[in-house]
Structures are given as structure tokens and as C-alpha cells.
Structure 1
């Protein structure tokens, strides 16, 4: 599955980009998207987003959709989703 990722603030600084597209497997979660970002941009991404297996308290992930659903590290993503990582 392809997921588009939008990054803001220090997360964009950690990756050097404001947008990325990652490939993840079926039933992938936000944590799997983070793992794919780590593969592309390096381990500094993980520490900017996760503490253990949870999102950092200052990180918010939103599925870009009409209802702007807030996601957790364990939330499932869908093929074609756009998720935005931002600081709270």
C-alpha cells in the first residue's frame, strides 16, 4: 500500500522534506509508516515521533479526510491515505 506523509516543524527538519510517500504492507499501522520513514530518512525520525511503541505526547497524527481523524501509533492506515504528522 502507498501512504502519503506530510511533515511539519522539527519533523520536516529531521527528514529534510515536508512530504514523502512510503510503501507499507496490508493492515499497516501508523507505527509501520514511521518504520518506513526511518528506512528512507534515518533513525532520527523515530525519536522525533515515537517513545517506545507510542506517539510522543507532543506529536499528533491526522488522517487527511473530511472528518480529520486523529490517529494513534496503532491505528491502521489505508492504501492511498494521506497522514499529517505535526507537533501539538
Structure 2
């Protein structure tokens, strides 16, 4: 399935991209999307948003939707999702 990823501010600088689209398995998690991005763009992507298997403490991920559902590294994604990575306030 395809998932669109958006990164803002310092996270874009850390990872080297503002947006991307990646193909992942149907049962993919946020961490799987980060791994797919790292495969495409380099290891700085993983280091920029994950600490081990968890999100960095300064990173927030939301499903780009009306309610901006917060996600964790283990959250499952759906076909066509857009996930937005930002720094915590």
C-alpha cells in the first residue's frame, strides 16, 4: 500500500526530506514506514525520528485527518494515509 509522509521544520533538516511516498505491506506500522524511508533516503531518516523501536521523545506523528489522530511507532496504517511528523512543543 502507499503511504504519504510529511516532515516539517527541524525534522525535515534531520531526515533530508519534506515529503515522500513509500510503498509498504498492508499491515505496516509507522516504524515500517520510517524503515522504508530510510531504505530510500538513508539512515539519517531513522535516526531523525526513532530511538530504537520508539519515536524520539521530541517527535510527534499524526494521521493527517480531520481529528489529527496521534500515532506511535507501532500504530498500523491504512492505504492512502498521510502521516505528518513534527517536533513536540
TM-score range, shorter chain: over 0.9
TM-score by length of 1: 0.94
Q: Which consecutive residues of structure 2, in runs of 5 or more, have no partner in the other structure?
A: none
TM-score by length of 2: 0.93
**What is the distance in 1 between the residues matched to 2:51 and 2:16?**
21
Residues 21-40 of structure 1, C-alpha deviation per residue, up to 9 Å, x if partnerless?
00000110000000011011
SS of the equivalent of 1:38 reads helix
List, as ranges, runs of 4+ consecutive aligned residues in structure 1 with deviation greater than 6 Å.
Answer: none
**What is the distance in 1 between the residues matched to 2:55 and 2:14?**
16
Q: Which consecutive residues of structure 1, in runs of 5 or more, have no partner in the other structure?
A: none
Pairs aligned (count) = 88
List aligned pairs for 1:1-88, cutoff 5 A. 1-88=1-88
SS of the equivalent of 2:22 reads strand
**How far apart are 1:15 and its partner, in Å?**
3.5
For the aligned residues, what is the CA RMSD?
0.9
Contact 2:11-2:48 at 8 Å conserved across structures: yes
